[in-house]
Amino acid sequence: MRLTKIFRKGKETTFKCNCCGTEYDEIPLCFGSEFPDYYYSIPPDEIEKRVELEKSLCVVDKTHFFHRGRITIPILDFNKDLYFDIWTSISPENFEFRMDCWESPNRKDFGPYFGWLQNQIPTYENTINIKSIAIEQDAGTIPEIEITEENHPLGIDQRNGITYKKAMEIVQYALKSQHE
């Protein structure tokens, strides 16, 4: 369910990071992780040999498959949402299938694909290896990730939306961990 948004106009024209005072022209609402969590378990000198990485696809040891997707958390009382571009695992069969229909205009008709979330989302209790599904979008757009882990606060917030106040807490926390 998604409530009608109440648009805030003319408020928050600039945004300031609490940890260091950096000013932004627009509130940073899109965060992301460059790699799936699994990647960090690989010794740096083995990465080149063991990891195949493309913009939104990653294969480790030719046996562990990951793809990038987007978690959207609606902000109920604001005109933009909060995004996390993160990684989930995907089965080898589904990975291959996704590759095959990468350019297909019908790709939205395929899936969804089950996966275990591979990144920690700031401020939430453990989000590594929680259940999710990936829902295909138009060509050129990474899939939307829906958290299906039962009773997980991230899934609940994704379904119900969060307040602007809570979103700002998450943003400040996420920026702090980037700036430290």
Is residue 23 within 8 Å of residue 179, measured between CB atoms? Answer: no
Residue reference for tokens 């702090």: 176
Choose which of 5, 15, 17, 59 interacts with Zn ion (CB under 5 A): 17
Choose which of 8, 16, 159, 179 interacts with Zn ion (CB under 5 A): 179
172 contributes a contact to Zn ion by CB under 5 A: no
Question: Cβ–Cβ contacts within 10 Å for residue 6, how many?
Answer: 10
Q: Rank residues 73 and 171 by Cβ distance to Zn ion and give the closer one.
A: 171
16 contributes a contact to Zn ion by CB under 5 A: no
Choose which of 15, 19, 57, 123 interacts with Zn ion (CB under 5 A): 19
6 contributes a contact to Zn ion by CB under 5 A: no
Per the document, the length of the chain is 180
Choose which of 20, 99, 139, 156 interacts with Zn ion (CB under 5 A): 20
- φ, ψ of residue 157 to 5 degrees: the values are -65, -35
135 contributes a contact to Zn ion by CB under 5 A: no
Q: Which stretch binds Zn ion (CB under 5 A): 27-35, 97-105, 106-114, 172-180?
A: 172-180
Instruction: Extract the tokens encoding 123.
Output: 């401020």
- Burial (CB < 10 A; 0-12, 13-18, 19+), residue 171, is buried
Q: How far is the CB of 169 from Zn ion (least distance, A)?
A: 14
Q: Which stretch binds Zn ion (CB under 5 A): 8-16, 47-55, 131-139, 168-176?
A: 168-176
Q: How far is the CB of 19 from Zn ion (least distance, A)?
A: 4
Please state, in angstroms and rounded to a whole number, the distance separating the CA atoms of residues 38 and 30.
22
Q: How far is the CB of 20 from Zn ion (least distance, A)?
A: 3
- Residues in Cβ contact with 132 at an 8 Å cutoff, skipping those fewer than 6 apart: 69, 88, 114, 115, 116, 117, 145, 146, 147, 148, 149
Sites of contact with Zn ion (CB under 5 A): 17, 19-20, 175, 179
